[in-house]
Amino acid sequence: TPWVKGDPRARAASLKGAETRRAKAAARKGTVRAMAEELTAISATFDRDRLGTHAAACASWLMGRVVSGQIPVRNGDEAATLLRALVDVARIEAGQPTGTTVVAHLGSSAMAEVLALRDQARAALGMGNAVDIDSATTSTTS
Predicted confidence at residue 1, as pLDDT, reads 54
Q: In whole numbers, what is the pLDDT of the chain averaged over residues?
A: 79
Contact 96, 56 (CB under 8 A): no
Predicted confidence at residue 89, as pLDDT, reads 87
Predicted confidence at residue 139, as pLDDT, reads 43
Predicted confidence at residue 129, as pLDDT, reads 58
pLDDT in tens for each of the 142 residues of the chain?
577 777 888 888 888 888 888 888 887 777 778 888 887 888 888 788 888 888 888 888 888 887 888 877 676 787 788 888 888 888 888 888 888 787 777 777 888 888 888 899 888 888 765 555 544 444 444 4
Predicted confidence at residue 138, as pLDDT, reads 44
SS (H, E, C) 104-118: CCCCHHHHHHHHHHH
Compute the Cα dihedral for 65, 68, 72, 78 and give only its sign: positive
